[in-house]
Amino acid sequence: MNTAEILAINNVSLSFGGVRALADVSLHVNQGEIFSIIGPNGAGKTSLLNSISGFYQPQQGTIHFAGVNITKLPSHKRAELGIARTFQNIELFKHMTVLDNFMLGAHIHMKAGILSGSIYWKFAEKEEVEIREPIEEIIDFLEIEHIRYQAVGQLSYGLQKRVELGRALALQPKIILMDEPMAGMTIEEKEDMVRFIIDINEERNATVVLIEHDMGVVMDISDRVAVLDFGEKIAEGTPDAVRNDENVIKAYIGGDIELAVETEGSG
């Protein structure tokens, strides 16, 4: 694993009116690792991912990605730098096919806009062919060749989650933020998703930042883990260190953090 820092969050605070979502949170993610963020319901996990991806703008603190200060950048500019995102609630164009959703995900790599594409259609056509090749690789990687032309809305929940992951991969990201990718899945679907996450990290060289309530998964695949509670970071370290941290045990009330996290709602 490359230990170079790819993401640095420094003293980030975020509030909505009088509600504090994040309070002076600092952490870093190393290039090439699987970094998980856990915590009880309402701990601020999704708010932190939204701050990294640009959906929320923190009132205080800075966020650096690959050495670039992205604190004030809009979300599409962060995507262009290599930050991709999946959502807790599926955010796909359900009337469109799997392939079309992937093509939309790859749009940031296309230089031909609507006007130039209509004038220089040969260039736009060539560019689309070039984009199609890595998309076909993603389709093969996710083992969804048989549904490439199906409308997303006709697919099962587990397959829709897989398609959303594929759309994020179509951005060819350096880092992928995954918000509860296994929520609502069957055991078999979870096993498949875990395999894909590991392969994304090891074979596609993408750093992974993961929010997940299945502590068995978190402890098995994570290089490091950060724990949030009421918007504050209370622990950060290896899975074993976090599992035995007194502050973490206290946050999960009773010491069985695996049972506590599995029964929590979204955060």
Tens of pLDDT along the chain (267 residues) come to: 556 999 999 999 999 988 999 999 999 999 999 999 999 888 999 999 999 999 999 999 999 999 999 999 999 899 989 999 988 666 677 888 998 888 877 766 555 444 444 444 454 555 566 677 889 999 999 999 999 899 998 898 889 889 999 989 988 899 999 999 988 889 999 999 999 999 999 999 999 999 998 888 999 999 999 999 999 999 999 999 998 898 888 887 554 555 444 444 444
Q: Based on the structure, what is the number of domains in the chain?
A: 2
Provide the sign of the torsion angle of the four alpha carbons 40, 70, 168, 31, taken in this order: negative
Contacts of 88 (CB under 8 A, 6+ apart): 46, 179, 180, 183, 211, 266
pTM of the model: 0.85
Q: Are residues 94 and 65 in the same domain?
A: no
Q: Are residues 112 and 135 in the same domain?
A: yes
Q: Are residues 191 and 267 in the same domain?
A: yes
Q: Are residues 217 and 188 in the same domain?
A: yes
Q: What are the tokens at 244?
A: 């035995």
Nearest to 235 by CA among 65, 13, 40, 38: 38
143-161 b/e (C-beta count within 10 Å ≥ 16 → b): ebeebbeeebeebeebbbb
Structural domain range at position 61 = 1-82+175-267
Q: Which of 122, 140, 172 is the last residue of a domain?
A: 172
Q: Are residues 69 and 150 in the same domain?
A: no
Q: Which of 123, 141, 172 is the last residue of a domain?
A: 172
Q: What are the tokens at 247?
A: 């502050």
Q: Are residues 95 and 157 in the same domain?
A: yes
State residue 218's pLDDT score: 92
Q: Are residues 181 and 266 in the same domain?
A: yes
Q: Which of 172, 194, 227 is the last residue of a domain?
A: 172
Element (H, E) at 215: helix 215-221
Q: Are residues 78 and 179 in the same domain?
A: yes
> 36: domain CATH number?
3.40.50.300
Q: Are residues 163 and 49 in the same domain?
A: no
Q: Are residues 254 and 179 in the same domain?
A: yes
Nearest to 36 by CA among 229, 242, 230, 256: 242
Q: Are residues 2 and 28 in the same domain?
A: yes
Q: Do 102 and 142 meet the contact criterion of CB atoms below 8 Å apart?
A: no
State residue 120's pLDDT score: 47
Q: Are residues 186 and 261 in the same domain?
A: yes
